[in-house]
Structure 1
Amino acid sequence: MTDSVDEPATADPPTWRPDPLGERFEQLTLPLGHDDEGEVVATLVRYRPRWRPRITRGAASGADVLYVHGWSDYFFNRELAEFWAGLGARFYALDLRKYGRSLRPGQTPGFVADLATYDADIAAALAAMGQPDATGPAAGRPLILLGHSTGGLTLSLWAARNPGRAAALVLNSPWLEFQLSKVGRQALAPMMELGARVHPLAPLPNVDLGFYTRAVSREQGGEWEYDHEWRPDRGFATSPAWLMAILAGHATIESGVDVGAPVLTLLSARSTILARWDDAMRSTDSVLVVDEIAQRALKLGSSVTVARIDGAMHDVFLSREPARAEAYADITRWLRGYGPGR
């Protein structure tokens, strides 16, 4: 199976419609053609405040923000949209193909064999946002890319391939290196390469024990409600071909890239990665080794800021309120120094 798609047929322009997040949120289906599993779409979500005051001094005034989720995830964080609107930005979130709102019956959730496949999803989103395919004065509103975990990896690679398109990157625990470090990645890659050739979609052992869900989900003591079909408790099944795409992305970052814009990387102060539940997982990253991610972030360009937040989980914006507040304050302060137009 490949993740290439045929060109979408000409059709009437798609229209925005109400989103399950409720009032002030709308969604737009972005047709991306067809692949071996049928119709392929991405879904753009936008936040439209009931009224928008004239924010002339907001830290993100006049900018567009595009958020991309992580693995086994989709956009559901209303508070995040409200935060960026309060800074004066227009907020958009993208459910990539075969995730969340974009997942169609019969599709392999989250599957691609090359992270560059998402260039089409991002291009469609930017076009719908009114972002021209240009840099410099012709680019219009400044673009801030906001990515979590695998979304942070995807956007970093995209920005490096499209220098000048983004004015700033804000990365929320980006998955820039494999959990077993560079050595583990290099040891695993040959086996995954063979598997990708022989059985590209063969399911790999599930190493997600559900601890991160326990820390996040309101039903299990966390603070957040979401669709467990779109964000399953133990994640989507992975495959050799998909993992090879991730490992290739990690290798590219490790070799060094230039995203062409200032970068803010938000991370927890600590990791807690265990084979048993520990309450510390409610206030630390239970998915990534944050010290390694902090080091890899320095490979993204010449202007990189790393903010370590005590009490933060893997998704910093799903952490308990004190850690979220610190993250929002860090973003605001950083934008005033490095954001568009500063």
Structure 2
Amino acid sequence: MSAAESGRRWQPDILGEGFEQLTLDLPDGAVATLVRYTPPAPEAPSGALRGHTPDVLYVHGWSDYFFQTELARYWAGQGARFFAVDLHNYGRSLRPGQEPGYVRDLSEYDEDLAAALDAMGQNAPDAGPLILLGHSTGGLTLAVWAHRHPGRAAALILNSPWLEFQATEWARRVISPLVSLQAQHHPRRPLPPIDPGIYTRTVSAAFGGEWHYNVQWRPVRGFPVTLAFLHAVFSAQAMVAAGLQLQLPVLVLLSDNSYLHPRWSEDAERSDVVLDVNTVAQRALSLGSSVTVGRIPHAMHDVFLSAPEVRRRAYEAMTRWGRGYLQPGPQRGPAPAP
């Protein structure tokens, strides 16, 4: 349902000047929320996106929502229209009585993405090229979505995507049948918590990090992980392992190091404390025929929440990749990056 059909209107967003949000009604009664960024004082784009107006759609990860204002400003500075969606049961879309993050299959987010793309104008004949940008579980969601919707997106950028289980593919194959069986009978049963809060300590300004955000939408130890959610992730990871054969350029940004330990160390501030980045780097090659893996030294799990110098290198890596893979063409397709 389009924004006009639902009667919804763009409203000021919590992120402040230049940011607006639009509530998207979904068929099952839930909602998603689309956020857009319009620079208060637009300037001529600094890079090669001049002459093209691509749409960038960002999808957050597990126990998360969109608050990365710097990322939005980066893309606006390159001449793109930037959007982000808070999926149903997350962030701005979470309503009283709903179970945070609950999902049985990642394909359930197809309705969220369809509503977002419609509101962005992506269904219009003159729509600009679509660049998908996903973090962690959002990256996994977008990868399998692009597989099911070939030709819709012009490029896919994945920020530390959860493409494979931390304990290797073999462990996922062993555990997955049991998880699937249990999820059929007890989908909402929570698994024992394993997050000691180390990632939050590296990111949140409340614990010495750099970033301020809503802890109700991004809890210190994350939302409870249900059997249904883990089954949904394992099913999508199995699809990736089998090979998605994506025919669009893919960029995967990862840290050069993981720190998967239950105790705090300063190494956590310069490592991915959620994923085994070497396992993800290898699995990324199963995405398609044109995959670039960029390892960013000292990056955290969300590369764009890392230390300022690390973020600068990540943006430079994204820009260099775009110069080679996002070139303008005579038909609808990806626009050039700066």
Aligned residue in 2 for 1:207: 194
| Residue of structure 1 aligned with 2:57, choices 59, 66, 72 | 66
For 1:262-305, what per-residue CA distance to the aligned partner results, in whole angstroms no more than 9, with x for missing partners? 00100000001002111100010000000010011111111000
Deviation at 1:239, TM superposition (A): 1.1
Deviation at 1:75, TM superposition (A): 0.2
Q: What is the identity, as a one-letter code, of the residue corresponding to 1:108?
A: E
Instruction: Supply the distance in 1 between the matched residues of 2:323 and 2:6 (Cα, whole angstroms).
Output: 41
For 1:224-274, what per-residue CA distance to the aligned partner results, in whole angstroms no more than 9, with x for missing partners? 000000000001011111111100000000000023210010000000100
Q: Secondary structure at the match of 2:27?
A: strand
| Residue of structure 1 aligned with 2:22, choices 12, 28, 35 | 28
Question: Counterparts in 2 of 1:1-342, with a 5 A limit?
Answer: 12-34=6-28, 39-55=29-45, 57-59=47-49, 61-132=52-123, 138=125, 140-341=127-328
**Higher deviation after alignment, 293-302 or 185-194:** 185-194
Instruction: Supply the distance in 1 between the matched residues of 2:69 and 2:44 (Cα, whole angstroms).
Output: 21
Structure 1 contact 142–340 (Cα < 8 Å) conserved? no
Q: Unpaired runs of 5+ in structure 1?
A: 1-6
Q: What is the identity, as a one-letter code, of the residue corresponding to 1:194?
A: L
TM-score (norm 1): 0.92
For 1:30-59, what per-residue CA distance to the aligned partner results, in whole angstroms no more than 9, with x for missing partners? 00033xxxx300000000101222338434
Q: Secondary structure at the match of 1:54?
A: coil
Question: Identity over the aligned pairs, expressed in percent?
Answer: 55
Deviation at 1:139, TM superposition (A): 6.2
Deviation at 1:11, TM superposition (A): 5.6
For 1:128-165, what per-residue CA distance to the aligned partner results, in whole angstroms no more than 9, with x for missing partners? 000017xxxx4630000000000000000000111111
Aligned length: 327
Structure 1 contact 113–244 (Cα < 8 Å) conserved? yes
Instruction: Supply the distance in 2 between the matched residues of 1:68 and 1:21 (Cα, whole angstroms).
Output: 16
For 1:54-100, what per-residue CA distance to the aligned partner results, in whole angstroms no more than 9, with x for missing partners? 33843484110000000000000111100010111000000000000
Q: Secondary structure at the match of 1:33?
A: coil
Q: What is the identity, as a one-letter code, of the residue corresponding to 2:100?
A: P
Q: What is the identity, as a one-letter code, of the residue corresponding to 1:162?
A: H
TM-score (norm 2): 0.93
Structure 1 contact 72–230 (Cα < 8 Å) conserved? yes
Q: What is the identity, as a one-letter code, of the residue corresponding to 2:227?
A: P
Q: Secondary structure at the match of 1:53?
A: coil
Structure 1 contact 96–118 (Cα < 8 Å) conserved? yes
Aligned residue in 2 for 1:4: none
Instruction: Supply the distance in 2 between the matched residues of 1:76 and 1:310 (Cα, whole angstroms).
Output: 23
Aligned residue in 2 for 1:3: none
Structure 1 contact 166–260 (Cα < 8 Å) conserved? no
Instruction: Supply the distance in 1 between the matched residues of 2:62 and 2:327 (Cα, whole angstroms).
Output: 28
Q: Secondary structure at the match of 1:118?
A: helix
